[in-house]
Amino acid sequence: MRPSSCDTFVALPPSTEGQRIIFGKNSDRPCDEVQEVVYFPARDYGAGEKVECTYIEIEQVAHTHAVVLSKPAWLWGAEMGANEHQVCIGNEAVWGRESADGEEALLGMDLVRLGLERADTAEKAVTVITELLEKYGQGGLCMEDECGFTYHNSFLISDRKEAWLLETSGKYWAAERVEDGYRNISNQYSITTKIDKEHPEMRAYAQSKGWWDGKSQFNFATVYSFTTTARIEASGSRYCEGKKLLEKSNGHITAETMMDILRDKDSGINMEGMFMTTGSMVSVIPTDPDLPGVHYFTATPDPERSVFKPFIFVKNLHLLKETSSPSYGSDDPVKKKPRFQSKPDRKHELFVKHKLVAAIIESYKDRGRKITEGMRQLEKETMKAMENHLLYGVSSSEEDFLVNLFTSSVQKELSVYSKN
């Protein structure tokens, strides 16, 4: 198994239909890893409180925003998610000249969650993540075993008005603002000469290592990337295919467009095999601050055989039980040293039922077709209902229904399974 890992996309006006930003990501992880979708409400904290991330404890802030996350069930952070201010973040594994084999620190997935909990704009999320990177560093095993799978991270971050691409190498980083059009990232550095923010010592460090002569135009991707590896070539292929798919719908990109891209297997974006797409997300964010964002998550592997289910931030939201994995607290093998000596059962209810249905779809053509048609019909009906909120907002009388929006969509998905 050669781990690859993830494709993330963002489209902004005028590449989208209407005044909307469309964000999407496939999380590509080990095929036996469970990805859960969870909600955490906003919360206030006292002075001196700490927060325990995947491997290390760090200082907590006075207030964290409400977040919805799609995350590997064994760790604290997230592969992707959104917050109540409609900031969306997805991360990518990147490998370059700087070694990623360091001590345990913050995982890139921890930084995704921390950015969402602490920033109310995309640009502030860049600041949050880079300040944490400077203070605590990034490092630690990124799979639930002792295989030595480690990497640095890039992040695609969006809000109601713009997007930012943040790419890191150790504690060094560069960031590029994206104000219109579209952008995608796939496990390789892609910031070149347009650098809008950067670590103050990033260029000097590259020069000290002999990667840059200090005279030629500085190109972050050229300076910090490997010259060539099979992994970079594979991600480059997915990057090019993703860019082509975005270009194909340029000016008319919608949530459905993004879902189709994430479902595309010919491009390798919907990954199969030992490393596969284990969770997917698409967010629709109107630029009008009076309108809600709608965040769709699968919480199951293979978006082609999954339903994108909607989540809207409203008051008094309920926890997402059907897509929350069992918690083992201090007894979790991830928390004990040496780590990863065993793997507990992390399957949530939807994951269990989906795995059974996926096997039926694979093995029984007619039954599988009926199940898939039922799933697509459910998704279509749900998205039609969400369009009304995207156009006209959420009335106070509708909020009581929306507190269970995601959960009720999961239950409808389970109903489709049971009928077939």
Give the active site residues. Answer: 6
Q: What are the φ and ψ backbone dihedral angles of 81, each rounded to 5 degrees?
A: 170, -175
Dist. CA 86–CA 158, nearest whole Å = 8
Q: Using DSSP, state whether 132 is helix, strand or coil.
A: helix
Q: How many CB atoms lie within 10 A of CB 107?
A: 27
3-state secondary structure of 336: coil
Q: Where in 288-409 does DSSP place strands (E)?
A: 294-297, 309-311
Q: Which helix (H) or strand (E) holds 267?
A: none
Give 274: exposed, middle or buried? Use CB within 10 Å, 0-12, 13-18, 19+.
Answer: exposed
3-state secondary structure 221-269: HHHHECCCCHHHHHHHHHHHHHHHHHHHCCCCECHHHHHHHHCCCCCCC
Residue in this structure with the two tokens 């000016």, named with its chain if needed: 251
378 vs 394: CA distance, rounded Å: 21
Among residues 195, 217, 192, 214, which one has the least CA distance to residue 205?
214
- DSSP class of residue 174? E
Torsion of CA 78, 84, 86, 87, to 10 degrees: -40
DSSP 305: G
